Chains A and B, each alone.
Chain A
Amino acid sequence: MSLTEVAPVAGQAAGRRGRSGPATRSRLARRRRRAGILLSLPALALVIGLLAVPVGQAVYYSMTQWNGITTTWIGPSTYSALVKDPIFWRVLENNALLLLAVPVAIGIPLAIAALLNEHVRGWRFFRSVYFLPTAISWVVIGMFALRFFSATGVLNGLLAHVGFGASATDMLAGEHSALAALAITFIWSMVGTNTIIFLTGMATLDPTLTEAARVDGLSRVQIFFRVTLPLLTRFIQFSFVITVISAFSALFSLIFVMTSGGPGYGTTTLEFFIYQAGFQQVQLGTAALYGVVLFVIMAIVGLVQLRLIKPDDGGGW
């Protein structure tokens, strides 16, 4: 058959289905675009309407004095005033101090993951147990923590048992000890999440790497620090970001239940102060101001994470 005979036949067959060739392709492409836009609209609308727009509004309100009813424009000087406000630095200092808990909130789960990774019989059961606290509300956790750290609380009871009754204190009464109590509670709550992250990471590691190190003469401890840990870099970074984000936002519930920000401004962190300024003092402009600061900090943390996901561990991802 010559080509000219074939072509008309093909054309007829195509004609039955609809036109073939560039015309159909662009029609398909257009329908695809239309469907794509249609399907992504709801999500976009939700995000823009309920997340993006309020951010813009917050920026606007941050430069005003606002009590929910009347708005008085002040201008960017609110920011310069903020920087000079000692309360602002106090609040930030609290956040910074709590950030000190992050390395611990990462280190302990690393150790626990290493423990579980030995796969001693029943390890899966323990893994479920350790992960359980993640299902629990911070409110509930705070309920317990309040009773644990208070003057008549569990901690002091334990200390008395062991003989250290003399050092019994109400941890929630002192500014720094209250922060410490918060930090400890926070660490406890993050153990589950981070342990799972690291366990998953360890499971993805090539087992021949540790085997090679064993044959090459390294002790178990050396292998953990020189082989396993460097290869977990990505996971440690991910866990770091999650932990920091939690330290900035999830602590609200803990503070609400445990200390209400006190004593004084002792445990008033950024996210709690926003609530306080807005809800209790009805200074919504100030709340918006701090809110913008919080947003900027979170954005920076998020961007830093994005840049950090360019690991030099070579293999794997």
Chain B
Amino acid sequence: MARIELDAVTKQFPDGTTAVTSLDLAVGDGELLVLVGPSGCGKTTALRMIAGLEDVTSGTISIDGRPVNDVEPRHRDIAMVFQSYALYPHLSVYDNMAFSLKYRGGVSKAEIRQRVADAARILELEPYLQRRPRQLSGGQRQRVAMGRAIVRQPRAFLMDEPLSNLDAKLRVQMRAEIAQLQRALGTTTIYVTHDQTEAMTLGSRVAVISGGVLQQVAAPQELYRRPANLFVAGFIGSPPMNLIDARLEHGPVVAFGPHRLAVPPEVVREHPALERHLGGEVVLGIRPEHLHDAALIHDRGSWPVIELPIRLREELGSEVQLHGAIGSAAHVSEDGGADDVRSLATIVAKADPRTKIAEGETAALAVDAAEMQFFDRATGASIRR
């Protein structure tokens, strides 16, 4: 069990590309921290630096308070689960799991057998111990990779997208198993993924990274309700938050296209810096789940309604997604991280499946205005201070 700390860690490759910029992270003892971000954002590089497989260009990585920048991977007492599992093809499942213990030394043969047996039992690998990796399915191989890490009883687990190569159904199942396992073992774990759903369900805290820079690190709920900037807002949540270029007028009223919505007082309280943007351009954020079919809301209260022509209706069984056209542009960011889903000038609403709204109509959508979020158009930061 260990604390892991990254202090202003930067990684620059010999060809000049900077993969990670000044990353500050603290993982508590026994915590499961998820590093999430789009492909190429630097999360795997950060993980590899913690493992010792990459050099740190500047900054310090510490385990239990001791800087480990110059400590070889094998002396860091860390176990890693690779995306491709990295199972030794010429060894049986048993030998794969026992491999490290055998050659690292310090563990008796009896103890090795015991540990492997325990791990095999937990991971339901007992019938496969004598098989070779190529005879196993993807899910089984994944479990062997985990087993190999478990038997080492290390101070921390590092997992690099361990579920990416599995099909969707298996992923959901393994996700739960990993979460339970980590809680049972209580080992500090750093988990890397590009899938925001995995991040939200697994992590006690989630660190969102983009372009090598930490965007926000917080508990999943916090990321969802109070994203620190446009990237996090657009990355967390599926379908992504609607981000709309708008004008903030006195009232305060937010105007986009033909629509004008009053900003409720509780939102103004959450965004005290809002008054600095009066009369200017902002980005309005409202999640699809906070737009409803007005016809199905019995008690609307003070929820404003906007009318938009519906371009597309997608049936998802448990919900219906409506794509409506708005007059102004939907916000398009440069790095395209979160909003390449939408074409210009469309917002998505997640409606109750009983909705009768059809494509081609102009529908009335009720807006849960209390869930409005505002972002600075220039910096992308949330207007909260």
Do A and B touch directly, given a CB cutoff of 8 Å in the complex? yes
Which A residues lie at the B interface, using CB under 8 A?
206, 208-209, 211-219, 222, 226-227, 230-231, 233, 312-316
Residues B89 and A216 in contact, CB atoms below 8 Å apart: no
Residues of A within 8 A of B72 (CB): 214
Residues of B within 8 A of A209 (CB): 86, 88
- Nearest B residue to A230 via CB reads B90
Bound: A21/B99 CA distance, A: 60
What are 16 A-B residue pairs whose CB atoms fall within 8 Å in the complex?
A206-B84, A208-B86, A209-B86, A212-B82, A212-B148, A214-B52, A214-B73, A215-B73, A215-B79, A216-B100, A216-B104, A217-B103, A218-B74, A218-B104, A227-B88, A316-B89
Residues A216 and B152 in contact, CB atoms below 8 Å apart: yes
Rounded to whole Å, the gap between the CB of B158 and the closest CB of chain A is 8
Q: Does B134 contact A (CB under 8 A)?
A: yes
Rounded to whole Å, the gap between the CB of A163 and the closest CB of chain B is 42
Rounded to whole Å, the gap between the CB of A219 and the closest CB of chain B is 7
Bound: A217/B132 CA distance, A: 22
Residues B100 and A218 in contact, CB atoms below 8 Å apart: yes
Q: Does B78 contact A (CB under 8 A)?
A: yes
Question: Chain A at the B interface: mostly helix, strand, loop or mixed?
Answer: helix
Bound: A211/B79 CA distance, A: 11
Residues of A within 8 A of B74 (CB): 214-219
- Give residues of chain B (135-170) contacting chain A, Cβ–Cβ below 8 Å: 148, 152
Chain B: number of interface residues, binned into ranges: 20 to 34
- Nearest B residue to A219 via CB reads B74
Residues B88 and A312 in contact, CB atoms below 8 Å apart: no
Interface string of B89-100 (1 = CB under 8 A from A): 110000000011
Rounded to whole Å, the gap between the CB of B314 and the closest CB of chain A is 34
Rounded to whole Å, the gap between the CB of B368 and the closest CB of chain A is 47
Rounded to whole Å, the gap between the CB of A192 and the closest CB of chain B is 28
Residues of A within 8 A of B53 (CB): 211, 214-215
Residues B90 and A313 in contact, CB atoms below 8 Å apart: yes
Residues of B within 8 A of A218 (CB): 74, 100, 103-104
Residues A222 and B80 in contact, CB atoms below 8 Å apart: no
Residues of A within 8 A of B234 (CB): none
Residues B86 and A206 in contact, CB atoms below 8 Å apart: yes
Q: Does B133 contact A (CB under 8 A)?
A: yes
Rounded to whole Å, the gap between the CB of A212 and the closest CB of chain B is 4
Interface string of B50-73 (1 = CB under 8 A from A): 011100000000000000000011
Bound: A255/B346 CA distance, A: 83
- Nearest B residue to A316 via CB reads B89
Assess A314 versus B132: contact at CB under 8 Å? Given A208-B86, A215-B53, A218-B103.
yes
